[in-house]
Amino acid sequence: MRASAFLYPWDVVGDPDAARRIADLGVRQVTLASAYHSTRALTPRHPRHRIVTAEHSAVYYPADPARWAGRALRPYPQRWTEGADPFGAAAEALAGAGLEVHSWVILAHNTRLGAEHPGIRVRNAHGDSYPWAPCIAREEVRAYAVSLAAEAAVRPGARGTELESCGWYGLPHLSAHDKTGGIRLGGAGQYLMSLCFCPVCEAGYASLGADPGRLRSAVTGALEPLWTGAYAETARGREEEWAEVEELLGAELAAVAAAWRNRIASAFRSEVVEAVRAAARERGEKGFRVLLHADPAPHRCGANAGTDPTGVLGGGPGAADGVVLACTGDAAERADVLTPFGPHRAPGTVLAANFTVVAGMGGRPEALAEEAAHARELGAGELRLYHAGLASEADLAAVRGALSRLA
């Protein structure tokens, strides 16, 4: 199985041994961040640092001033990795070690953008807004994301791209000192807390025949048993989660909310993918692959944006070349994520199973060979390894062993 390791530019820039070390794992590809959200990351092998603090969402290349001139929403430059083009420098070093480089682009997740432009945020039924989650129903957010995708994906040295958060973002957000885990919301509760009630979305619900005020009241009422502990979440798979949403919200209102969000997500995804393809054609890039980090349950939101497998891989305008799917759970959860995409594959379609290989982050690198073999039985043809820059030496040794057995 073809394998790709995720990396940040700072994992490579300033470390002359990094590219060769990654190549020696047995991977053929690196998925390298070109536009990424804020984070605090370990660099356990870098000769000059052990912690990198990316203080805000940023791009790791010189943004084109002409593209962004006069725009309120625009990407932020970074200042914590040396050089004007860390992505380009890292891509060159990795290619020199025989590795194919694909860009890794974060779209609808940007806390600094939301902090500086409060009007673009997702706003829940209680009136709380999420700075990390720009509402993709808003025209200015779509314009920003489409331009960012085209610029950040098709970088010199990149042979393809992987687009993360290419859809709705909502409540789930791993952040510093997070204190939102006191009540187990489950998949249904997370969805209800992620429904947006900004003016654009309220107008969207109304256009489909639903009173936004009634929908808002239904959502807050449906959530009340979760706050009191009177409702025990039992759903595990995507279908059971949606059945719980319908039970909590009512089938009619659940259908309206889903119809609006699915329409917006589909249009957003198509516009982004087409913009990336146009940029690749303009640069003369042939065979440039566009993959989406996705989930087969349309109601789910976050980094792996919920989507309809038919629309994503249907081969029409805006369809992707494949998907990257989180396979961090047990065998049943892997099947729940991978199986729905199988019937919609065409020749050349990529189904990539993404495994966390950092033991300290809950990964099981020692089980990678067995779990990857199961993913292959379910239709996966490629692997993604999260994250080679964060992993310990023991983690990387386990990865090397697993990839040698899978070769």
pLDDT averaged over 10-residue windows placed end to end, the chain, 407 residues: 97 98 98 97 97 97 98 98 98 98 98 98 98 98 98 98 98 74 83 97 98 98 87 75 93 98 97 97 95 97 94 83 96 95 90 98 97 97 98 98 94
**Whole-angstrom distance, CA of residue 97 vs CA of residue 115:** 40
Residue ranges of the domains in the chain?
2-120+138-174+264-406
Phi, psi of 36 (to 5 degrees): -140, 155
Max alpha carbon distance in the chain (Å)? Answer: 60
Q: Which fold has domain 2-120+138-174+264-406?
A: TIM Barrel (3.20.20)
Nearest to 167 by CA among 64, 294, 71: 294
pLDDT at 43: 97
Contact 301, 332 (CB under 8 A): no
DSSP state of 31: E
Beta bridge pairs of residue 91: none
d(CA 152, CA 172): 25
Closest CA to 18 of 84, 103, 105, 86: 86
**Residue 179: per-residue pLDDT:** 64
Q: What is the pTM of this model?
A: 0.96
* Type of residue at 111: T
User: Which is nearest to 128 in space by CA: 217, 196, 204?
Assistant: 196
